[in-house]
Amino acid sequence: MGRKGYSSTTIKTEIYQRAKKSSETRGMTVSRFIEQAIMDQMEGLEDFKDVNAIEAEMLHLKVRMEQIQKRAIERVKRLLEERLKMEEKLRHYAEHLEELVQERTKELRESQEKLLRAERLAAIGELAAMVGNDLRNPLQSITNAAYVMRTFYESLPAEIKKGTDFEDAQKMLRIIQDEVAYANKVVSDLQDFAKIQGPDIRDINLNSVIRDALSEVEIPSNIRVITRLNETLSRFRADLDQMRRVFSNLISNAVDAMPDGGKLTITSSKKGDFVEVKVQDTGVGISKQNMEKLFTPLFTTKAKGLGLGLLICKNLVEGHGGSIEVESEEGKGSTFTVRLPIQQGERRQ
């Protein structure tokens, strides 16, 4: 069958009829007309005698078409891949939208809390600077009065001292002195936090500073103290008062962490370019939740205190170019490590 359902006989008949009609119009036979038509077509092919050139051109065009097709396919493939990635990303965002909102909300809440805490600390600093001296004077007066009264009671005759009233008075005086000492510490913490001065670097004996800090803390009889101090650290350069404050605070915290007794170990050593001082206790330890807040201003687990002690220690150590780290496990104890750079602290020979 030919095109559109015609048979080959029908097509031949149609061609013949058209040729006959055209030949009659031009006044020639049908065979002559067909021959002339073939000759006309052959003349139009004179420019294409070089079959090899035609084949080469066709091959070149074929290669170019294949390259264009390949690039087009690759581009479509990339577009499809990008679309799939975008759809996957949108699907991920859609599935985790609530989580993302919660995460962003948490970040905003934390930023707000930090801002509020900074404003609160700034207010505390201003207040401490204004009232620090005003509080020091009456506290010192109370301390002096308690000392005078205690001296007076001690000078009384022995028969008077045997009475219950005398013992009660002595007890009250001790309470007054202890509470005044605590109040003085609170004022000192506030003032130190309000304005921490840069370190006054000078020659010090680091081991002596540690021993002095240890002597300032009242150690209960049920706590055993072990010191392992590297004697080569006897010559060091740092701020004596600030270092004593740091170690005194860490030792005091270690003692507070062992209400039922335990072991307090203090070591000093050289580690590369740093000096390390470790204060280790076998106390109650610190929970993971509290570890994250340990150096947060105004955070404390103690019944008394402002929660500024460790933060002040951290600031003082960092002021020397060092760092303070803590390791702890609940029920087993904690270890605070103070690291100070030797190149800054050690005196050159």
| pLDDT per residue as tens digits for the range 83-128 | 888 888 888 777 777 787 888 888 888 888 778 767 776 776 777 6
Q: What is the pLDDT of residue 301?
A: 66
- 273-302 pLDDT, tens digit per residue, is 889 999 999 998 888 888 877 777 666 666
Cα–Cα dist 23/225, whole Å: 132
Cα–Cα dist 335/326, whole Å: 6
Residue 234 clears pLDDT 80, i.e. is over it: no
Q: What is the pLDDT of residue 32?
A: 66
User: Model pTM?
Assistant: 0.55
Cα–Cα dist 325/295, whole Å: 10
Mean pLDDT for the stretch of residues 219-247:
88
Query: Which tokens is 347 given?
Result: 């005196």
Window from 65-74, 183-192, 338-347 with minimum mean pLDDT: 338-347
Residue 141 clears pLDDT 70, i.e. is over it: yes
> How many angstroms from the chain centroid is the CA of residue 212?
36
Which residue, 245, 178, 168, 233, is CA-closest to 207?
A: 233
Query: Which tokens is 33 given?
Result: 């007309």
Check: CB of residue 337 under 8 Å from CB of residue 277: yes
pLDDT band at residue 339 under the 50/70/90 scheme: very high
How far is residue 95 from each of residues 91, 104, 271, 277, measured CA to CA in Å? Answer: 6, 16, 50, 50
DSSP 156-200: S-HHHHTSHHHHHHHHHHHHHHHHHHHHHHHHHHHHHHH-PPPP-
Q: What is the pLDDT of residue 188?
A: 74
Mean pLDDT for the stretch of residues 143-163:
77
Residue 346 clears pLDDT 50, i.e. is over it: no
Greatest mean pLDDT among 21-30, 67-76, 194-203 lies in 67-76
Window from 20-29, 72-81, 104-113 with minimum mean pLDDT: 20-29
Cα–Cα dist 251/254, whole Å: 5
Cα–Cα dist 307/294, whole Å: 9
Check: CB of residue 199 under 8 Å from CB of residue 319: yes
Rounded to the nearest 10°, the torsion over CA 30, 32, 35, 40 is -100
Q: What is the pLDDT of residue 203?
A: 85
- The proportion of the chain whose per-residue pLDDT surpasses 90, expressed as a percent, equals 17
Check: CB of residue 281 under 8 Å from CB of residue 252: no
The H or E element containing residue 229 is: strand 223-229
- 251-281 pLDDT, tens digit per residue, is 999 999 999 999 999 999 988 888 999 999 9
Check: CB of residue 342 under 8 Å from CB of residue 274: yes
Mean pLDDT for the stretch of residues 167-185:
82
Query: Which tokens is 46 given?
Result: 């004179």
Window from 51-65, 81-95, 207-221, 266-280 with minimum mean pLDDT: 51-65
Question: How high does pLDDT run on average in the chain?
Answer: 78
Q: What is the pLDDT of residue 255?
A: 93
Q: Residue written as tokens 């066709």?
A: 58
